[in-house]
Amino acid sequence: MKTFYAALVATTLLLSACGGGKTDETKTDNGKTEEPAIKEILGAGATFPFPYYSKLFDVYNNEKKIKVNYQSIGSGGGIKQLQSKTVDFGASDAPMSDEELKGSPSPIVHIPTCLGAVVVTYNIDGNPGLKMTSDIVADIFLGKITKWNDKRIKEINPDAKLPDLAISVVHRSDGSGTTYIFSDYLAKVSSTWNTKPGKGKSLDWPVGLGAKGNEGVSGLIKQTPGSIGYVELNYALQNKMPIASLKNKSGKFVTANLESTSAASNVDLPADLRVSLTDTDAPDGYPICSFTYLLVYKNQKYDTRTEAQAKGTVNLVWWVIHDGQKYAKDLDYAPLPEKAIKAAEANVKSVTFDNKPIL
Amino acid sequence: MTIEYRNIRNKLFKGIVIILTVICTLPLLLVLYRITKEGISAINWDFFVNLPKPVGEKGGGIANALVGSGLIILMASVFAIPLGISIGIYLSEFKKTKLAYFTLLSVDVLQGIPSIVIGIIIYLWVVKTMGHFSAVSGSIALSMMMLPAIIKSTEETLKLIPDTLKEASLSLGVPYYRTILKVILPAGITGILSGVILSVARVAGETAPLLFTAFGNPFMNTNITKPMSSLPSIIFNYAISPYEDWHKLAWGASFMLIAIILVLNIITKIAQRKWRVQF
Amino acid sequence: MTINRSYRKIKLQYIGRKEIRRINFTEASFKKMLLLSAIGLVVVLLAIFVTLLISSLPSIKAIGVGFIYGKTWDPVVDHYGGLPFLIGTLLTALLALIISIPFSLAVGLFLGEYFRSGVISGIFKNIIELLAAIPSVIYGFWGLFVLVPLVRSLETTLGVPPYGVGIFTSSIILAIMIIPYSVSLTAQVISLVPANLKEAAYSLGATRFEVIKNIILPYTRSGIFAGILLGLGRALGETMAVTMLIGNSHIIPTSIFSPGNTMASVIANEFTEATGDIYLSALIEMGLFLFVVTTIINVIGRRVIKRFSIN
């Protein structure tokens, strides 16, 4: 078995050597720049900012001729793949927990890229705009409210035509930052929720269907009459799905939009930027928002990583928090507030290669 | 029991058998109908030459997946064909040995392993070792799934070739390896080839083993050590998405995939009928 | 002609001892290569098993047998009970078998007894074979857009929660996918029933139905069983179509219309993102389980086929 293993590794290495050779060849026709240009950066993680990232990286490829391959496999996946060093950067909407940071091979920095809101969206006849309180949302997702014409939903939506239809809860089947943000909010506002199922990227859901990614959840909700779920704002808007307005801490019903999201971000930020924005105190703030982060290793020299690759990754991150910000609004994400950019800059600058700062 | 009753029962049963058989063909016709209907309207020039566009922008295509699928399968064939034929020759030449028994057992077991388990194994063996996802790991996974069909077709074809042919060659003083390579293999080549084509058709649509190996890539990539897109993986990703544009691309990609698979199957069928190994 | 050419070349090479030695060496290496490739395959199979076993050790150690009867799969608190998936897997596979058996038996009789040759038989044979050629992901995609709305309206009529996706929907697709596998074997064994047995029955005045019932089915019982078994093996490990249609819920299914999860679909959903060693290891343990179960099923299946073909 050992010999087989060795043979397998040898063939793989041989093949990767061949492949490597090929890229070197193509590199020369790329112009003889002083430093070897990198052509590809690999990232994976959150689906929540995926529409924004896919726009950003498309622009980045046009401008800098560097292909950023971003796979939206969910925040859990992003963290996992970064930890096992299969990607250049990870992406997550949930800041990494202390245990996750401890479980990583070396320190990781969080760089926020934009602000997003998680909205409650549904599919019922006529799709009336509904109002909801935190209790109602929690009880629907706990499986305690099972019908659309439930007394409690009717009470605060007297004008809406609510059908006598079973509620099908749709949640994420993959480890997700969107789930984290949503459950973080529910855990803050409902003590029942806090004890079970609690908050996290994957939960032991008491009811409902699972779907993969924000894409999958919105797809399933669109397909299933009577369903309700939570997705990032952009997914709901792009697919013309109805959005519930939520009662925030100050007792105001707020719809998720750029202003109410930005309002929620107006808090003091810790240096590592791991912060929860849910259930905001801001009177006009939407209660379920969050930063979404790119994650990179603080010390970029690991394994066989080249300085060029490290530099390319850091340059990309720097570009995202500056030039990239202007693309956020069009896709319904709130750009970072000035305070957050300053803090993010400090974080990017703290990244080193061989103990030398990269920027 | 009167004879009438028995006759009616006889006819009734035949009717049921025919009805159930006809029902069995419905899924194929329905799948083909729907995919052709939706797929053809999705296919245009952009579809073949463009890369996927960010959500909401028109004119995206699946060029990356077409190239990716082609490369991944080509590489898988390069791994699987020599190995498969070689094992097939061993099985037909040394069928009485203990090793042949275990090898044949392994072929059967390999054929039955769920594709997702192959994905796990290649993730642990190749992706972890290399440190990142890559097209080549996807090819290795697919090549493992191709092996059983190639081995079986080689073994079964060679079994049909009469010993006299081999003995004639050997008696002329031709070395054993030349006899196998220049006499036996060419005689059975169509049978082996149809096995190879069938195995390609079988893995062309495999998705599960690519999820953790070839991964995916929104850009055109021809570097086999980097992640690569493929037809089945974009069908999966786009099918579960909420976007109409992406659904369209998924139908188009499904149509392409089905068309390729059908053509390969038909080629095998014709090959088997026309150039059947006969002695 | 091929032989001629080889012969001539050999004659040319037959000059000195050196050449003979070279040929002998090539000969030996050729045989060695054949031997090595055959050994290699056995080794790969063993290596798969050992790798799966070693990689599942952390979870086996941490969870133990609780893995089989544990009802909650909760990555938040690092607790992994596989019962919901075990039940989901068995339920979908068994339901798929129940749906598929009448069909595969009928098609087997159609191809192996009623229409043994000719154009009609050829057409149906090819169609059934092509059913097996359609990729799983396309079945899933098609199911999502065609079957799910149908099942949903059925569920609305029945008054159960109209999810559309769930155990039932996956089972239908699975049934379609396993029919060709069972049929290929069933048709084969049915066509192998000795003619003299059937003729003896006919000469006693039996109708065709009676021949099928009293001669063919009893005679081919073990072969049909093997076909069903192979279909079961297929159904247990099928991934993509099921992942797209089963509803991905970690709750133990309470009815056939419930959403659920199978072992394969959980692996597909969670493997790339399993943070934590035990989480990953628990997923690999399910892979090990699938490997062992499908291996046993296949070995038994092939045994039965072998015994049948010797008879």
- DSSP characters over A309-341: HHHHHHHHHHHHHTGGGGGTGGGT-BPPPHHHH
Helical packing angle, C277-310 and B98-112, nearest 10° = 120
Short-list C69, C37, C169, B264, CA closest to A223: C169
Task: Domain of residue B33: give its range.
Answer: 3-42
| pLDDT score, position A4 | 47
Tally of domains in chain B: 2
Distance CA A122, CA A224 (A): 9
Q: Does B37 reside within a domain?
A: yes
| pLDDT score, position C194 | 92
User: Could you tell me the residue ranges of all domains in chain A?
Assistant: 2-115+292-357, 117-289
Residue A169 φ then ψ, to 5°: -80, 135
Same domain membership, residue C242 and residue C201: yes
Same domain membership, residue B102 and residue B180: yes
Give whole-number Cα distances, B183 to B153, B163, B173, B186, in Å. Answer: 17, 11, 13, 6
Task: Return the CATH number at C218.
Answer: 1.10.3720.10
Same domain membership, residue B79 and residue B202: yes
Residue A70 φ then ψ, to 5°: -110, 120
Pairing of strands C73-74, C79-80: antiparallel
Same domain membership, residue B222 and residue B157: yes
The residues, ordered by sequence, that sit 6+ positions from B8 with a Cβ below 8 Å of its Cβ are none
List the single residue in B with minimal CA-CA distance to A84: B131
pLDDT tops 90 at residue B131: no
Chain B residue numbers with beta carbons less than 8 Å from the beta carbon of A85 are 131-132
> Which of C162, C248, C251 comes nearest A225 by C-beta?
C162
* Chain centroid, CA A173 distance in Å: 15
Q: What is the residue type of B138?
A: G
| pLDDT score, position B278 | 56
> Which of A175, A205, A209 comes nearest C165 by C-beta?
A209
| pLDDT score, position B279 | 55
Q: Over range B173-196, report the average pLDDT.
A: 89
DSSP B222: -
Interface touch B133/A15, C-beta < 8 Å: no
Touching subunits for chain A (3+ Cβ pairs under 8 A): B, C
Interface touch C47/A223, C-beta < 8 Å: no
Q: What is the residue type of A156?
A: I
Strands (E), A224-350: 227-232, 245-247, 253-254, 289-297
Interface touch B242/A67, C-beta < 8 Å: no
The residues, ordered by sequence, that sit 6+ positions from C225 with a Cβ below 8 Å of its Cβ are C304
| pLDDT score, position B275 | 64
CB B213 within 8 A of CB B141: yes
| pLDDT digit string, tens, across residues A49-75 | 988 998 999 999 999 999 999 988 888
- Decide: helix, strand or coil at residue A297: strand
Residue A229 touches partner C, C-beta closer than 8 Å: no
Instruction: Pick from B237, B245, B246 the residue to mutate for testing the A interface (most A CBs within 10 Å).
Output: B237
Largest CA-CA distance found in chain A, in angstroms, rounded: 73
What kind and span of H or E run contains A45? strand A40-45
List the single residue in A with minimal CA-CA distance to B129: A9
Task: Domain of residue C129: give its range.
Answer: 66-310
Interface touch B225/A216, C-beta < 8 Å: no
Contacts of the segment B264-269: beta carbons below 8 A, 24+ positions apart: B264/B197, B264/B198, B264/B200, B264/B201, B264/B204, B265/B198, B265/B201, B265/C129, B265/C130, B265/C133, B267/B194, B267/B197, B268/B194, B268/B197, B268/B198, B268/B201, B269/C126
| pLDDT score, position A229 | 96
pLDDT band at C12 (very low <50, low <70, confident <90, very high): low
What kind and span of H or E run contains A69? strand A67-71
- Decide: helix, strand or coil at residue B34: helix
| pLDDT digit string, tens, across residues B57-99 | 777 889 999 999 999 999 999 999 999 999 999 999 998 899 9
Distance CA A322, CA A195 (A): 40
Distance CA C48, CA A91 (A): 32
| pLDDT score, position A17 | 42
Instruction: Pick from A47, A108, A204 the residue to mutate for testing the C interface (most C CBs within 10 Å).
Output: A204
Instruction: Pick from A71, A89, A223 the residue to mutate for testing the B interface (most B CBs within 10 Å).
Output: A71
3.40.50.1000, 3.40.50.10300, 3.40.190.10, 3.40.50.2300: CATH of A2-115+292-357: 3.40.190.10
> Which of C40, C152, C250 comes nearest A204 by C-beta?
C250
Q: What is the residue type of B126?
A: V
* Chain centroid, CA A175 distance in Å: 11
| pLDDT score, position C5 | 53
Interface touch C129/B202, C-beta < 8 Å: no
Residues of chain A with pLDDT under 50: 1-5, 7-35
> Which of A204, A208, A223 comes nearest C164 by C-beta?
A223
Chain A residue numbers with beta carbons less than 8 Å from the beta carbon of C258 are none
For tokens 């107006």, the residue is A266
CA distance A87 to chain B (A): 7
Task: Return the CATH number at B261.
Answer: 1.10.3720.10
Give whole-number Cα distances, B90 to A167, B158, B165, C29, in Å. Answer: 61, 10, 18, 13
CA distance A75 to chain C (A): 8
Tell me the residue length of chain C. 311
Same domain membership, residue B97 and residue B14: no
Q: Taking CB atoms and an 8 Å cut-off, how many pairs form between chains A and C?
A: 104
Give contacts of A 39-68 with C, CB under 8 A: 44
Q: Does B279 reside within a domain?
A: no
Same domain membership, residue B130 and residue B30: no
3.10.20.740, 3.20.20.100, 3.40.190.10, 3.40.50.360: CATH of A117-289: 3.40.190.10
Same domain membership, residue B16 and residue B146: no
| pLDDT digit string, tens, across residues C56-79 | 999 999 988 888 888 888 877 788
The residues, ordered by sequence, that sit 6+ positions from B106 with a Cβ below 8 Å of its Cβ are C41, C42, C44, C45
Q: What angle do CA C10, C13, C14 make, to 5 degrees?
A: 85
- Decide: helix, strand or coil at residue B71: helix
Same domain membership, residue C164 and residue C53: no
List the single residue in B with minimal CA-CA distance to C14: B173
CB C249 within 8 A of CB C260: yes
pLDDT band at C123 (very low <50, low <70, confident <90, very high): very high
Interface touch B110/C135, C-beta < 8 Å: no
| pLDDT score, position A88 | 92
| pLDDT score, position C115 | 92
Helical packing angle, B115-122 and C217-237, nearest 10° = 40
Touching subunits for chain C (3+ Cβ pairs under 8 A): A, B
| pLDDT score, position A247 | 93
Give whole-number Cα distances, A181 to A46, A82, A202, C300, in Å. Answer: 12, 21, 11, 49
CB B35 within 8 A of CB B205: no
List the single residue in B with minimal CA-CA distance to C209: B10
CA distance B104 to chain A (A): 19
| pLDDT digit string, tens, across residues C204-214 | 999 999 999 99
Q: Does B53 reside within a domain?
A: no
Distance CA C32, CA C38 (A): 10
Interface touch B10/C145, C-beta < 8 Å: no
Residue C152 touches partner A, C-beta closer than 8 Å: yes
Q: Does B59 reside within a domain?
A: no
pLDDT tops 90 at residue B210: yes
SS3 of chain C: the string is: CHHHHHHHHHHHHCCCHHHHHHHHHHHHHHHHHHHHHHHHHHHHHHHHHHHHHHHHHHHHHHHCCHHHHCCCEECCCCEECCHHHHHHHHHHHHHHHHHHHHHHHHHHHHHHHHCCCCHHHHHHHHHHHHHHHCCHHHHHHHHHHHHHHHHHHHHHHHCCCCCCCCHHHHHHHHHHHHHHHHHHHHHHHHHCCCHHHHHHHHHCCCCHHHHHHHHHHHHHHHHHHHHHHHHHHHHHHCCHHHHHHCCCCCCCCCCCCCCCCCHHHHHHHHHHHCCCHHHHHHHHHHHHHHHHHHHHHHHHHHHHHHHHHHC
* Chain centroid, CA B185 distance in Å: 22
List the single residue in B with minimal CA-CA distance to A22: B223
Instruction: Pick from C15, C37, C41, C52 the residue to mutate for testing the B interface (most B CBs within 10 Å).
Output: C41
Helical packing angle, C217-237 and B98-112, nearest 10° = 60
Distance CA B9, CA B11 (A): 5
Q: What is the residue type of A49?
A: P
| pLDDT score, position C269 | 86
Q: Over range B197-211, report the average pLDDT.
A: 93
Q: Does B101 reside within a domain?
A: yes
CA distance C62 to chain A (A): 18
A80: tokens are 């996992």
- The b/e string for A235-259 (b: 16+ C-beta within 10 A; e otherwise) is bbbbbebbbbbbbbeeeeebbbbbe
CATH fold match for the domains A2-115+292-357 and A117-289: yes
| pLDDT score, position B217 | 86
Same domain membership, residue B22 and residue B143: no
Give burial (CB, 10 Å; 0-12/13-18/19+) of A150.
Answer: middle
ipTM score assigned to the predicted complex: 0.92
Q: What percent of chain C has pLDDT over 90?
A: 66
CB C52 within 8 A of CB B114: no
| pLDDT digit string, tens, across residues C226-237 | 999 999 999 999
Instruction: Pick from A58, A68, A88, A331 the residue to mutate for testing the B interface (most B CBs within 10 Å).
Output: A58
Give whole-number Cα distances, C240 to A283, B76, B143, in Å. Answer: 46, 21, 19
Give contacts of C 28-47 with A, CB under 8 A: 40, 43-44, 46-47
Interface touch C249/A197, C-beta < 8 Å: no
User: Residue B31 — left, alpha, or beta (φ > 0 → left; ψ -120 to 50 → alpha)?
Assistant: alpha
Tally of domains in chain C: 2
Same domain membership, residue C173 and residue C48: no
CA distance A154 to chain C (A): 21
Looking at C63, C78, C94, which one is the last position of a domain?
A: C63
The residues, ordered by sequence, that sit 6+ positions from A320 with a Cβ below 8 Å of its Cβ are A56, A111, A113, A294
Interface touch A174/C269, C-beta < 8 Å: yes
Largest CA-CA distance found in chain B, in angstroms, rounded: 76
Instruction: Pick from B5, B18, B28, B122 the residue to mutate for testing the C interface (most C CBs within 10 Å).
Output: B28
Interface touch A80/C75, C-beta < 8 Å: no
Residue C191 touches partner A, C-beta closer than 8 Å: no
Q: Over range C238-253, report the average pLDDT.
A: 92
Q: Over range C95-110, report the average pLDDT.
A: 96
pLDDT band at C6 (very low <50, low <70, confident <90, very high): low
Residue C154 touches partner A, C-beta closer than 8 Å: no
Chain B residue numbers with beta carbons less than 8 Å from the beta carbon of A88 are none
CB A165 within 8 A of CB A225: yes
pTM, full prediction: 0.86
The residues, ordered by sequence, that sit 6+ positions from C259 with a Cβ below 8 Å of its Cβ are A208, A209, A210, C163, C165, C166, C167, C246, C247, C248, C249, C251, C253
List the single residue in B with minimal CA-CA distance to C103: B20
CB C128 within 8 A of CB B24: yes
